[in-house]
Amino acid sequence: MATETPTLESLQASLDAQQAIFNMHQAMNVEVFYWWCTAIMVMIHAGFLAYEMGASRSKNALAAGVKNILALAVIIPTFYLFGWWIYNAFPGGIIPAEAASALPWSQSMGPDVQDMGTGIFWAAFALFGATTGSIMSGAVIERIRVSAFLILTVILGSGVWILAGAWGWHPDGWMLTELGYHDVGASGVVHAIAGFFTLGVLINLGPRVGKFINGVPQQIRAHNLPMTLIGLMMIIFGFFGFLGGCIIFNGGETGWTTIYNNPTNLSAFAFNTLMGFAGGVIGCYIATRDPFWTMSGGLVGIISVAAGLDLYDPGLAFIIATCVSFIAVGAAKLLEKKGIDDAVGAVAVHGVTGVVAVILVGVFAGGTPNVGGNPAISLYGQTVCAIVMAVLGFVPGYFVSYLLKKFNMLRVPENVEVLGLDEVEILTHPYPETVPAKSSAPTNVGDLEAKGA
């Protein structure tokens, strides 16, 4: 039986078909990678849930947990409605560019077999936004109204942070194109923004009842410290999904790059994430000997090196994390002396550490070139961008919470706080066996306010 001799045309057609199959599978691999990064990021929110419930007193445990669940639930749809559009529309500053494809009614913002990227990147960025809300959540436990918290969370998680992302992460972001900004692991665009937004809120929210007596800070003990430590370790686990979402999985010959298109790989991220974690834990343990701060040191350590994960030597990452731990602990103590009641140290752990991390990239990696004709990394550029992040976070946090306070919408009444938010806002108890069988307590905040209890 005669065999048909292949022609150049038939060979080219076969080659093109194989290339199309390869490209399809490559695109599918990208989707799978970010799918699992997003799934792992959900563990961050499970961790914050346990961490903040444990850090609360038992009378407020469920209120702390429900806030975290609702934060995730309100950021996802609002980030779909306008958060993704903000990222694509505002890289140049405060004047929007054309970004119709990021509007919720565009074809790319829904099922489309020809688009294997938009949905999965939107999901990862939405979870980044939810993380900012969870960062704020712990600091304000035991006295903020759930409604006020959700308003602030939407503004932070679907507005402010993603504006920072547009400026500092977008390929056309002005901080990159004008100043050479480098922040691969979101020390600035997520953590500094969330931390300083939280500081603005805390100034208006005020301390918990009994936190300061004659100006002297009192210790308010967590009702379940083991749960808090477990929650913090769950957050550390979730960070591997978070940081995986910060690296770009490219097809073809390009391979891994940072969000700025600089070549890198997961090995660099692995070295420095783990060394940062270890340095942070050791530093905070030496600085405090406190179990809560020791475990929080893992967060401090990772955040302190996240901006330069692709650039640092692992030994340097360890040293940075250890040293920044002392800065974070000192910042927390200073804020407390100034009358700021940050229940979990979020401003120090995320805000102060994030700002320092961005600046340190300029110290240790200044002169490193960027691709695409963007300016090289510099101490000047990193410092200016760190200040921008702090201001961009603080200003809306302060002024929105100030307005809520003026309308008496920010904080629960003092008698509700003393009774416990679970009793009034959640209407149930975390440990019902400890509650008397009958209770004459009012059933909601309105009843208490009406009775003047």
pLDDT computed for residue 446 by the predictor: 54
1 assigned to some structural domain: no
6 assigned to some structural domain: no
Number of domains in the chain: 1
175 assigned to some structural domain: yes
Sequence-distant (6+) residues with CB within 8 A of 412 are 143, 144, 145, 421, 424, 425, 445
pLDDT at 451 over 90: no
Summarised one tens digit per residue, pLDDT across range 65-81 is 999 999 999 999 999 99
Alpha carbon of 306 to those of 198, 262, 299, 309: distances in Å? 20, 15, 10, 5
Count the residues in the chain: 453
395 assigned to some structural domain: yes
Q: Are 412 and 143 in contact (CB under 8 A)?
A: yes
pLDDT computed for residue 438 by the predictor: 52
Distance in angstroms (rounded) separating the CA atoms of residues 434 and 123: 41
Residue 33: enclosing H or E segment and its boundaries?
helix 8-55
Summarised one tens digit per residue, pLDDT across range 219-275 is 999 999 999 999 999 999 999 999 999 998 886 677 899 999 999 999 999 999 999
pLDDT computed for residue 95 by the predictor: 93
84 assigned to some structural domain: yes
Q: What is the mean pLDDT of the chain?
A: 92
**Nearest CA-CA partner of 192 in 46, 388, 336:** 388
For residue 432, name the pLDDT band (cuts at 50, 70, 90): confident
Which residue range forms the structural domain that includes residue 299?
Answer: 18-430
Please state the pTM of the whole predicted model. 0.92
DSSP state, residue 348: I
**Coil, helix or strand at residue 113:** coil
pLDDT computed for residue 11 by the predictor: 75
For residue 378, name the pLDDT band (cuts at 50, 70, 90): very high
For residue 6, name the pLDDT band (cuts at 50, 70, 90): confident
Summarised one tens digit per residue, pLDDT across range 342-370 is 999 999 999 999 999 999 999 999 999 99
Measure the CA angle with vertex 181, ends 128 and 350; round to 5°: 40
What residue has token string 């504006």? 163
pLDDT at 452 over 50: no
pLDDT above 70 covers a percentage of the chain that reads 94
Mean pLDDT score, 89-117: 91
pLDDT at 453 over 50: no
**Nearest CA-CA partner of 359 in 305, 426, 311:** 305
Query: In this structure, what CATH number is given to the domain that contains residue 30?
Result: 1.10.3430.10
Measure the CA angle with vertex 125, ends 136 and 384; round to 5°: 70
Residue 257: enclosing H or E segment and its boundaries?
strand 256-258
Distance in angstroms (rounded) separating the CA atoms of residues 147 and 243: 31
Summarised one tens digit per residue, pLDDT across range 261-286 is 999 999 999 999 999 999 999 999 99
438 assigned to some structural domain: no
Mean pLDDT score, 129-140: 96
187 assigned to some structural domain: yes
* Residues paired with 258 in a beta bridge: 247
Summarised one tens digit per residue, pLDDT across range 434-443 is 766 554 445 5
pLDDT above 90 covers a percentage of the chain that reads 81
435 assigned to some structural domain: no
Distance in angstroms (rounded) separating the CA atoms of residues 173 and 167: 4
Summarised one tens digit per residue, pLDDT across range 305-356 is 999 999 999 999 999 999 999 999 999 999 999 999 999 999 999 999 999 9
Choice between 447 and 136, residue whose per-residue pLDDT is larger: 136
Choice between 6 and 275, residue whose per-residue pLDDT is larger: 275
pLDDT computed for residue 445 by the predictor: 55
